[in-house]
Amino acid sequence: MEIIEKIKTNKSDDNLTEIQKICLHKLHSSPLPNHKSELWRLSNKSKLSTFLDYSVNEKDSKFDIPYPKNSQSTIRLIIGENCQIKLIEKNYSIQHLSEDELQKYIKEQISFFKQNENWSDLLNLSLSCKNNILGLKINGSKIPPIEIFSHASSNALNAKTLVIFLEKNCDIELLQVNLGKENSSLSQSTFFCLKENSSLNHGVVSYGENRSNLLNSLNVIQQKNSAYNLGSLHFKFNYARFEISIKQSAGNAKTNIKGMQITKKDEQISTYTKIEFNGPNGFLDQINKSLADDKSHAIFEGSIIVPKIAQRTDASQLSRNLLLSNLAQIDTKPQLEIIADDVKCKHGATISQLNEEELFYMRTRGITLTEASKLQLSSYFQEIISFIPISKDKWDLLDKLLNEN
């Protein structure tokens, strides 16, 4: 693991940015996450070392987006390709964050980081060079939908970072697509800061190829009266981790999360979420679905933290899982940590397989077993897919999941 060796030796390189130096320094004492900790206990060690085996690639080869851009009104950005953007229209503006703003914000975030909890972010920020960090400030309303792509090249590790400030009263739809190439590793860290009264409909589609790996981390700070909706889908990765951390900094905010992960062959995909309510009247509705087939392993761990200040919080978390094979494995652990007394909090978890009675019913109506299972799966997938913005009309994700996967 070349990267870890580099971190260990802590060789000072003049080309490194200040942020890279801070993160390398933080990782120096223990470059790898602690596998005994709750967050990394179930993570496949050998798969993680495969992730780290590739050498870092700072310049991407030319990248062809496999998805059509059939609407002129969509803004499309690719992290790593010199995408200059400065759009100042009547109703809205999209601009790059200044170097100072970007540095200040990332440094502030790093000061809260903990070794195990934010290891993926620390690794990302210590590898991400200036070109691979995209910082945007978005203001206004009636903004056209935005698509942001991150991708990894074959036989390499790519680190991409995205920072977005959503100014007051701003309302956007944003789709983030992470694409893994064969034998590649992608480290993607995303930071959102939602100012008062802003609203973000966020979609994350992470789609891998043979033996591709992904460490995807998402950090959201929600100020008062902001609304954050997330629809996410992760599939076809040899190893993928999706880490979500959401802080409602002053309460009074709304968060909706609908996520899904699909594992086949010997893949391992995990989702870790941590939602903190640091003020009263917070709202959360979260559902996470997993489907594990063949010899794969799907993991979900979600924690909801409600301190004393967060009175009248209304939070619910549901983990629904389908286990389709004798050799597959599912681990799920929804957690509640509550100190405030005037709250409504609940969570639920189920693990089962396709409903036999429903299958039987459909077969008595002349539908074949394969078709009937597909129908059931499509209704299982549809709830999540319909929540992912922009992708709906363009990409037939459902078809991709049912037929291609």
Partner 1 sequence: MVNENLVKDVVKEPYKYGFVTDIETEKIEKGLNEDIIKLISQKKEEPKFLLDFRLKAFKKWQKMKEPDWAALGYKKIDYQDIIYYSAPKQKEKISSLDEVDPKLLETFDKLGIPLTEQKKLTNVAVDAVFDSVSIATTFREELAEHGVIFCSISEAVKNHADLIEKYLGTVVPASDNYFAALNSAVFSDGSFVYIPKGVTCPMDLSSYFRINSGDSGQFERTLIIAEESSSVSYLEGCTAPMFDTNTLHAAVVELIALDDASIKYSTVQNWYAGDEEGIGGIFNFVTKRGKCLGKRSKISWSQVETGSAITWKYPSCLLLGEESVGEFYSVALTNNLQQADTGTKMIHIGPKTKSTIISKGISAGNSKNSYRGLVKMGTKATGSRNYSQCDSMLIGDQASANTFPYIKSQQPNSEIEHEASTCRISEDQLFYLQSRGIEFEEAVSMMVSGFCRDVFNQLPMEFAAEADKLLALKLEGSVG
Binding site for partner 1 (CB under 8 A): 308, 311, 321, 323-353
Can you read off the two tokens belonging to residue 310? 């967060």
Smallest distance from the beta carbon of 196 to partner 1, in angstroms? 27
Can you read off the two tokens belonging to residue 76? 């499309």
How far apart CA 334 and CA 321 sit, in angstroms, is: 12
DSSP 145: P
Strand partners, 173: 201
Nearer to partner 1, 151 or 264 (CB): 264
Nearer to partner 1, 161 or 332 (CB): 332
Nearer to partner 1, 173 or 293 (CB): 293
Smallest distance from the beta carbon of 42 to partner 1, in angstroms? 9
What is the enclosing helix (H) or strand (E) of 360?
A: helix 356-364
Short-list 294, 232, 301, CA closest to 267: 294
Alpha-carbon torsion 93, 98, 101, 102, what sign? positive
Nearer to partner 1, 207 or 300 (CB): 300
Nearer to partner 1, 342 or 393 (CB): 342
> What are phi and psi for residue 393, nearest 5 degrees?
-80, -25
Q: Are 102 and 133 in contact (CB under 8 A)?
A: yes
Smallest distance from the beta carbon of 304 to partner 1, in angstroms? 9
How far apart CA 386 and CA 388 sit, in angstroms, is: 6
Q: Are 19 and 107 in contact (CB under 8 A)?
A: yes
Smallest distance from the beta carbon of 94 to partner 1, in angstroms? 42
How far apart CA 131 and CA 266 sit, in angstroms, is: 34
Smallest distance from the beta carbon of 377 to partner 1, in angstroms? 14
Smallest distance from the beta carbon of 35 to partner 1, in angstroms? 14
User: Longest Cα pair distance anywhere in the chain, in angstroms?
Assistant: 71
Nearer to partner 1, 16 or 345 (CB): 345
Smallest distance from the beta carbon of 333 to partner 1, in angstroms? 5
Q: 87-88 and 92-96 as β-strands: parallel, antiparallel, unpaired?
A: antiparallel
How far apart CA 113 and CA 275 sit, in angstroms, is: 15
Smallest distance from the beta carbon of 344 to partner 1, in angstroms? 7
Read off the amino acid at residue 234: H
Nearer to partner 1, 129 or 351 (CB): 351
Nearer to partner 1, 4 or 338 (CB): 338
Q: What is the dihedral of CA 207, 398, 70, 96, to 10 degrees?
A: -40
Nearer to partner 1, 218 or 262 (CB): 262
Read off the amino acid at residue 344: K
What is the enclosing helix (H) or strand (E) of 246?
A: strand 239-248
Alpha-carbon torsion 221, 319, 33, 162, what sign? negative
How far apart CA 213 and CA 273 sit, in angstroms, is: 19
Smallest distance from the beta carbon of 32 to partner 1, in angstroms? 20
Smallest distance from the beta carbon of 303 to partner 1, in angstroms? 9
Nearer to partner 1, 110 or 351 (CB): 351
How far apart CA 264 and CA 348 sit, in angstroms, is: 25
